[in-house]
Structure 1
């Protein structure tokens, strides 16, 4: 979940298209949680497969991951070397302040179950009985552990890609596919493992990196401008297929589907990134301004939206308003939650994120 700001430490020109896509990712995850918490109750709904991009809107997480790989590889491809320590410091300044707040809320909620070993979940927020996974309101934080593990290895992956080209990433994807396939018979719940661990998600970051290599070589090619409808169709088709026959909420999971699902999902998002990057220059201002702003605050929006959704849902239940004809339509509640989350994310960005963002320094040396 990357900041949209471009600073002197990267020398990378601001790319509004990536802000648009961050906004899309945040909206998808928000819509996914809203429709299930307020209406569908975490059930598979193959009858709504045509709406799969919402009912399986967790796919927004994949878009976030692919965007991370794409942007960081773009920075690396400018030349020069990445200073590992400064890179990690910058990433901690980006993600740690708000995540630590969410983590402390999680351990406070479950204070009687807290154990000293829980501190390790500051880095591994998606494994075992992570405190952040103990309640819906802090649940979205599971992705931060995966993101940070990618940060730890990215400078090495970038260096090897600079040395060997895109073929290094292709070889890495083949290895990852083998590891996932070989591990499949040993995993009791493949859909859960491949959904929420680095084993299942690393290929999405790598595909984002590979998309950056392709973009560097073919950014001006007209194929990307003309392929946007194809990219949108691929994404809709992916979500339709998942909602129809392999929903995350399906009782009997198709194990082999999940082995390669992240790869297929990431390919669709990588295609959209390439196409949208070529097409997004001429959006009307009334559309672009809110998209740019939501892209900027997308990290806060992502981590905090579940707080708002749960508060609204619980409050209206307590008052007996849900399903009583006074306020019964989940879309109205979702709009209310969206507005409150927007306000809260702005407050969080200005208070908990931006002061730390301003402390970042340059991590890439000049190209020789």
Structure 2
């Protein structure tokens, strides 16, 4: 079975935009640019649970596309493709973020340091250390605000993704040999292990460092990625066909969506993602299964609409650029009406970046690194 036998996961591309937009509107609200009801802000969990959905999605999509990955040239091709996927936009966002960081670091701009980065002061070593963390994609392992907040705070999640990319080849080559019963048991143990890890971190590392590790460290989120890989293996081993029968797909989608909404409103755990992660996997499984059409064929559903797919493809640029742009917007002190206009402009800018910069830059990086990695670029 080849991954190319399966239709393009259009609905999952669409849901990527919804997750990115949850982060966008939460951050714009927190900055006072686009006020929303506090209940909605709490429901969105400041966008934090949406990022966990990204991690589950990442494991799922990588597995569907690379389930038969082998060591050697195959792994090198995978790693080059992943680097080309994330690094050009990360550098672009870092350049934009540098403008705001250098403005906030100027004497007399302490209010900007507090508002943008939650810092009372910043040192030259801190600036240089944070810059090195951004360039090396290691900010997620630096639980100090002076190092991980300036330049481009949301880059922490790309640092986590980079960790997952490095672990994926060994993980998939190991997991694909396991029966589904073993994978299911591993998921149950992983779910319990994640909860124990979070409890342990908060018990041992109190204060901001503990919460940073819980929300932004790779190990605290590894179960989300692992669960995405496990869900994709189930999908590829007959889960897609099983879910397509009768009302199973609808039950998976609407049941998981209702559960996620209920947990978002109930505030049963802190962090919220502890109970939501399995529901994210179920939602992804349902959305990845096309809707059967009478007379044969299938369609992806509303989330697979071409407009949402385009927005989803641009969601990485949107996620990486929105905070540096938001900081610069706030210098002008725009009112709520202009704030919504700027939010819409940020979404449009992400589409331009995706089509005019991200896509050609990705191809250029692959073409440059492919010979050194020992494979031909396509």
Range into which the TM-score falls when normalised by the shorter chain: 0.7 to 0.9
Residue by residue over 1:262-283, the C-alpha shift from the partner in whole angstroms, topping out at 9 and shown as x without a partner, is: 3422222212111112256546
Q: 1:267 aligns with which of 255, 278, 299?
A: 278
| Pair 1:119–1:339, CA change in 2 (3 A) | closer
Taking structure 1 as the reference length, the TM-score comes to 0.75
2:320 is matched with which residue? 303
Q: Distance in 2 between matches of 1:278 and 1:294?
A: 20
2:165 is matched with which residue? 151
2:112 is matched with which residue? none
**SS of 2:176 mapped into structure 1:** helix
Displacement after TM superposition at 1:177 (Å): 4.1
Alpha-carbon RMSD across the aligned residues, in angstroms, is 3.7
Q: Distance in 2 between matches of 1:91 and 1:152?
A: 9
Q: Distance in 2 between matches of 1:266 and 1:186?
A: 24
**SS of 1:38 mapped into structure 2:** coil
Q: Which runs of 5+ in 1 are unaligned?
A: 1-7, 247-256
Question: Mapping of 1:1-368 within 5 angstroms?
Answer: 13-38=7-32, 48-49=38-39, 52-54=42-44, 56-77=46-67, 79=68, 81-82=70-71, 83-103=74-94, 106=97, 109-110=101-102, 112-113=124-125, 114-115=127-128, 119-121=132-134, 122-126=136-140, 127-129=142-144, 133-135=148-150, 138-166=152-180, 167-168=182-183, 169-170=186-187, 171-189=189-207, 190-216=210-236, 217-221=238-242, 222=245, 223-242=248-267, 257-258=270-271, 261-279=272-290, 282=299, 288-315=305-332, 317=333, 322=335, 328=337, 330-356=339-365
Q: Distance in 2 between matches of 1:120 and 1:337?
A: 25
Residue by residue over 1:255-312, the C-alpha shift from the partner in whole angstroms, topping out at 9 and shown as x without a partner, is: xx33xx4342222221211111225654689971111112222211211122333333
2:295 is matched with which residue? none
Taking structure 2 as the reference length, the TM-score comes to 0.73
**Length, aligned pairs only:** 329
Q: Distance in 2 between matches of 1:148 and 1:299?
A: 14
Q: Distance in 2 between matches of 1:300 and 1:96?
A: 11
| Pair 1:54–1:120, CA change in 2 (3 A) | closer
**SS of 2:139 mapped into structure 1:** coil
